[in-house]
Amino acid sequence: MLKQSLQYKLLQKLSPQQIQLMKMIQLPTQAFEQKVKQEIEENPALNSGKDEGDEYDSDLQNDDYDDTGTETIETDINIDEYLSDDEMPSYKLRSNNYSSDDDEKSIPYAAGTSFNQFLTNQLNTFRLNDQEYQIAEFLVGSIDESGYIRRDIDDIVDDLAFSENIFTEASEVKRMLGYVQRLDPAGVGAQSLEECLLIQLKRKSVTKERALAIKILENAFEHFVKKHYKKLIQKFDITESELKGAIDEIEKLNPKPGGSYANNNKIVEQIVPDFSIRIIEGELDLTLNSRNAPELHISNEYNNMLKGYAASKNKSKSQKDAVQFIKQKLDAAKWFIDAIKQRQQTLLLTMNAIMHMQKEYFLTGDERKLKPMILKDIADRIHMDVSTVSRVANSKYVDTPYGTKLIKDFFSESMMTDQGEEVSTREIKKILDTVIKEENKKKPLTDEKLAKILKDKGYIIARRTVAKYREQLNIPVARLRKEI
């Protein structure tokens, strides 16, 4: 049976402008600059810098044009505030009084040979026929940035047949792999860590320690990785000092031979801080990077277009369409300028609240002074949504007297001490890191012992929580921290 009913629903929908604003808030400085450049390119009504020209004629603001020929233009856009005012100095129109000296200069980077090309060039030192060279070149192309070939030989044989029309055997590919593994840097072309280390060791002159190291890698690699030193001593009938000498040789090797070359030719990504905090006469001073505060205004050329339209007696359909286009661009330009201002206000408001909540840290640089702080704490202070604070914190950096920091790193959960005092989990992690660094590496502390030490210091933490913090600090378990 069909029924009709009336239902009331309360729905909250974001407008396209609000969605775009949220996206702009989330953008870091360099991406935001690209967004501004893109908007200027796409909207001819939007200009950057100071625009010299006539003032906008406010008499045109409320004009409208209809099919009867009335010389009016329908618009409620007030663009006077975006036009340059010759009587007003430009420095008064800029927030925080930025100067051109604040602009970041681009740094040129020297072009270099890629890692793959570097290896391919070395193939010319071997005497290879055409097919051998093609196989070797294909193998070089299969090497990743770390210097490894992480594919099965059989798969490579199939790929050679399908993509290069080269029909060969696995034995031939393995033979050519031997040539590739003779390339520099030593260890490149290996299919496993064990093979990579062995290639490097066998390239060196023979010593007693290196010979033992080769035997350990070839015959007891699992014991070595798991640091079962007693089993190694028994297996090879050696002394502890002999084992230490062999391990020292292995530790000198490079587990990622490709990284030594590839990293030297990568363009280093430059972090551009969105904020700067300075200590001036004992007080904190917060500024927004000038690159986040571009000087934008409405183009005066559009003003002249409107004046020309109003002055003409005979108005055509094409002129009417042109005026409608102008109105759309003016609306978009006005919204974009407003969005940038809202973005600046939101960034400054959020960072100012964070700065004052973590005032002791910013004055001293001592991470133990960081207070427990979650996104909701800042959201409540500035009366904004948690998601807005998250967008600011996750992608923005601040330049402090103690280095450039990611803002989200200042957030941490709280934990109670045995004295009932609320402390940041970052403080506990710092203490945990210090305790592990100072431990006896011959007998590293287990998670249970670490939990007891922290308890003695007043931090009541379960063993599993210690394990979680240790993993977050990228510190291995006690067995893997053991040294001879």
Give 69's pLDDT tier (boundaries 50, 70, 90).
Answer: very low
Across 327-336, 357-366, 445-454, least confident range: 327-336
Beta bridge partners of 404: 399
Separation CA 211–CA 150 (nearest Å): 27
Q: Is the pLDDT of residue 16 over 50?
A: yes
C-beta of residue 187 within 8 angstroms of C-beta of residue 193:
no
C-beta of residue 410 within 8 angstroms of C-beta of residue 402:
no
Beta bridge partners of 284: 279
Q: Is the pLDDT of residue 34 over 90?
A: no
Centre a 10 Å sphere on the Cβ of residue 468 and count the other Cβ atoms it contains: 14
User: What percentage of residues in the chain have a pLDDT greater than 70?
Assistant: 76
Q: Is the pLDDT of residue 79 over 70?
A: no
Q: Is the pLDDT of residue 424 over 90?
A: no
**pLDDT number for residue 417:** 66
Q: Is the pLDDT of residue 345 over 50?
A: yes
Among candidate residues 267, 259, 255, 265, the one with its CA nearest the CA of residue 145: 259
User: What percentage of residues in the chain have a pLDDT greater than 90?
Assistant: 8
Quick one: which H or E segment has residue 397?
strand 397-400
**pLDDT number for residue 251:** 86
Across 144-153, 260-269, 447-456, least confident range: 260-269
Q: What is the mean pLDDT of residues 194-218?
A: 90
**pLDDT number for residue 277:** 92
Across 22-26, 67-71, 218-222, least confident range: 67-71
**pLDDT number for residue 350:** 92
**pLDDT number for residue 355:** 92
Question: Cis omega (within 30 of 0) on the bond before 89?
Answer: no
What are the boundaries of each domain within the chain? 193-253, 414-484
C-beta of residue 252 within 8 angstroms of C-beta of residue 244:
no
User: Helices 317-357 and 386-395 sit at what angle, rounded to 10 degrees?
Assistant: 80
> 414-484 sits in which CATH class?
mainly alpha
Question: What spatial distance separates the first Cα and last Cα of the chain, rounded to whole Å?
Answer: 82
The pair of structure tokens assigned to 482 is 């053991």
Beta strand extents in 91-234 (DSSP E only): none
User: Helices 240-251 and 193-203 sit at what angle, rounded to 10 degrees?
Assistant: 100
Give 13's pLDDT tier (boundaries 50, 70, 90).
Answer: low
Q: Is the pLDDT of residue 442 over 90?
A: no
C-beta of residue 335 within 8 angstroms of C-beta of residue 388:
no
**131 vs 269, which has greater pLDDT?**
131
The pair of structure tokens assigned to 26 is 């989330």
**44 vs 1, which has greater pLDDT?**
44
**pLDDT number for residue 306:** 66
Burial label, 30 (beta-carbon count in 10 A; 0-12, 13-18, 19+): middle
Give 126's pLDDT tier (boundaries 50, 70, 90).
Answer: confident
Helix (H, G, I), strand (E, B) or coil at 403: strand
Question: Hunting for tokens 């203490």 — which residue is that?
Answer: 431
Across 93-97, 374-378, 382-386, least confident range: 93-97
Q: How far is CA 396 from CA 47, 302, 351, 389, in A?
A: 26, 36, 10, 11
Across 91-95, 180-184, 462-466, least confident range: 91-95
Burial label, 472 (beta-carbon count in 10 A; 0-12, 13-18, 19+): exposed
Q: Is the pLDDT of residue 84 over 50?
A: no
Q: What is the mean pLDDT of the chain?
A: 77
Separation CA 354–CA 347 (nearest Å): 11
Q: Is the pLDDT of residue 64 over 60?
A: no
Q: What is the pTM of this model?
A: 0.53
**pLDDT number for residue 312:** 65
The pair of structure tokens assigned to 22 is 């949220």
Phi, then psi, of 67 in degrees rounded to 5: -70, -15
